């Protein structure tokens, strides 16, 4: 769906509570976790996105720039009814293809520059909440690269804090250029450390084969190491797969999972079945 086709009629006031850098200091990109409180009429669930209206340049008739961001924490209702939530934003730049000049991305720079107490306008929510398996013995395979990790941080919190009877397995495949780029899981910020001693949780890193040279994450190395188990679990009816991040992750995963499955034909049929049963969910952009 194109950005201009989204419904922006539901707009809510929000106030920034906190903004912290979550990419390691030496990482090449700045990524921030931004927490804010939204007007009490707003509601959103894990797996959904919110819209942000970054101010436009009024002098050339631009009202705002609308962009989408995934929820990076379980939304909390405050005592006065407001909704507290966080998003994870990469400060983006793009290269103009004609001039070759580097420009700051408008909305991500606007968000990353916000300070506690600043006001903003959010819209939405958009998209489907992640389907939450009813089975307490479900296997959850979460695959996220870059800012795609954000919804999984929230999703895991949901399972471990709000589903005490959940005994299933959670596998997190986490992609990044280098270990420094693993958001929420680097040397300085590791929000997943809470779960490492749980027998049911395992996290696997998928890093770039040639950091700085290639943008491609080496999913193959991470997944082939667990190929047999992965194949077995994908065949089980209680396994759910969630994929989030930049769109190219889908092609990269199809290549690897076709090898795990034995052929393209087998994999794509399998994936169609998983999708039809609501057990393969994508949040890609
Ligand atoms: C459903 C959905 C969910 C999204 N969730 C998030 C999220 O949780 N966190 C987040 O940071 N962004 C997310 N995005 C991307 C976000 O909406 C903006 O496109 C991004 O912040 C760039 O906007 P901008 O105005 O700063 O730059 P623009 O001027 O629009 O573009 C800047 C450049 O950055 C590239 N780019 C866009 N997003 C990313 C990214 N995340 N990582 C690396 N390069 C990127 C673009 O391809 C473009 O070349 C999501 C997009 C969609 C459609």
C-alpha 185 chain-centroid distance: 13
Q: 229 CA to middle of ligand 1, Å?
A: 33
From the candidate CATH numbers 3.40.50.2300, 3.40.50.300, 3.40.50.80, 3.40.50.970, the one assigned to the domain spanning 139-284: 3.40.50.80
Ligand 1 centroid from CA 264, angstroms: 30
Q: How far is the CA of 202 from the centre of ligand 1 (A)?
A: 28
pLDDT tens for 124-153 read 999 988 888 989 999 999 999 999 999 999
Question: Which residue's CA is minimally distant from atom 29 of ligand 1?
Answer: 105
Find where tokens 């990469």 sit.
90
Give dist(CA 37, CA 116) in Å, integer.
11
In the chain, where the domains are located:
3-125, 139-284
DSSP string covering 87-139: EEEE--EEE-TTT--EEE-HHHHHHHH--TT-EEEEEEEESPPPP--S-TT-E
- Quote the CA–CA distance of 195 and 198 in Å, as a whole number: 5
Domain 3-125's class? mainly beta
Best residue among 6, 8, 46, 105 to mutate for probing ligand 1's pocket (most ligand atoms within 8 Å of CB) is 105
> What is the distance between the alpha carbons of residues 133 and 139, in angstroms, rounded to a whole number?
9
- How many CB atoms neighbour CB 66 within 10 A? 17
State residue 61's pLDDT score. Answer: 80
Ligand 1 atom nearest 87 alpha carbon: 8
Q: How many CB atoms lie within 10 A of CB 103?
A: 12
The 10s digit of each residue's pLDDT in 216-270 is: 678 888 888 888 999 999 999 999 999 999 999 999 999 999 999 999 999 999 9
**Beta strand 49-55 with 64-70: parallel, antiparallel or unpaired?**
antiparallel
For residue 150, the ligand 1 atom closest to its alpha carbon is 8
Residue 74 φ then ψ, to 5°: -70, 120
Give 2's pLDDT tier (boundaries 50, 70, 90). Answer: very high
Distance of CA 175 to the CA centre of its chain: 11
Please indicate whether the domains covering 3-125 and 139-284 agree at the CATH topology level.
Answer: no
Q: Pick from 234, 149, 224: which is nearest to 192 by CA?
A: 149
**Cα 35 to ligand 1 centroid, rounded to whole Å:** 18
User: Of ligand 1's atoms, which has the minimum distance to the CA of residue 127?
Assistant: 1
Pocket of ligand 1 (CB under 6 A): 49, 65, 67-70, 87-90, 92, 94, 105-109, 146-147, 150, 246, 285
Torsion of CA 69, 75, 77, 80, to 10 degrees: -30
Instruction: Identify each DSSP E strand in 177-263 by its residue range.
Output: 201-207, 239-245
Question: How confident is the model over 83-129, as pLDDT tens digits?
Answer: 999 999 999 999 988 999 999 999 999 999 999 999 999 999 999 88
Cα 18 to averaged position of ligand 1 atoms, centre (Å) = 21
């Amino acid at each position: 769906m194109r950005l201009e086709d989204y419904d922006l009629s539901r707009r809510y006031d929000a106030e920034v509570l906190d903004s912290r850098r979550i990419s390691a200091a030496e990482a090449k990109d700045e990524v921030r976790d931004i927490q804010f409180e939204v007007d009490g009429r707003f509601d959103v669930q894990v797996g959904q996105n919110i819209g942000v209206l970054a101010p436009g340049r009024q002098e050339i008739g631009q009202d705002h720039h609308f962009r989408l961001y995934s929820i990076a924490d379980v939304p909390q209702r405050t005592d006065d009814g407001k909704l507290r939530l966080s998003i994870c934003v990469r400060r983006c730049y793009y290269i103009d293809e004609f001039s070759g000049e580097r420009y700051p991305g408008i909305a991500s720079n606007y968000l990353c520059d916000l300070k506690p107490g600043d006001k903003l306008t959010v819209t939405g929510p958009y998209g489907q909440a992640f389907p939450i398996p009813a089975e307490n013995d479900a296997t959850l395979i979460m695959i996220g690269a870059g800012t795609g990790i954000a919804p999984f941080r929230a999703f895991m919190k949901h399972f471990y804090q709000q589903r005490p009877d959940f005994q299933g397995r959670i596998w997190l495949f986490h992609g990044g250029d280098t270990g420094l780029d693993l958001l929420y899981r680097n040397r300085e910020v590791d929000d997943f450390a809470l779960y490492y001693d749980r027998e049911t949780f395992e996290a696997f890193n998928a890093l770039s084969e040639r950091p700085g040279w290639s943008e491609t994450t080496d999913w193959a190395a991470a997944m082939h190491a667990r190929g047999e188990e992965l194949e077995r679990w994908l065949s089980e009816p209680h396994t759910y797969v969630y994929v989030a991040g930049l769109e190219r992750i889908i092609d990269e995963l199809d290549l690897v999972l076709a090898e795990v499955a034995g052929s393209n034909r087998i994999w794509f049929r399998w994936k169609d079945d998983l999708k039809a049963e609501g057990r393969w969910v994508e949040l890609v952009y």
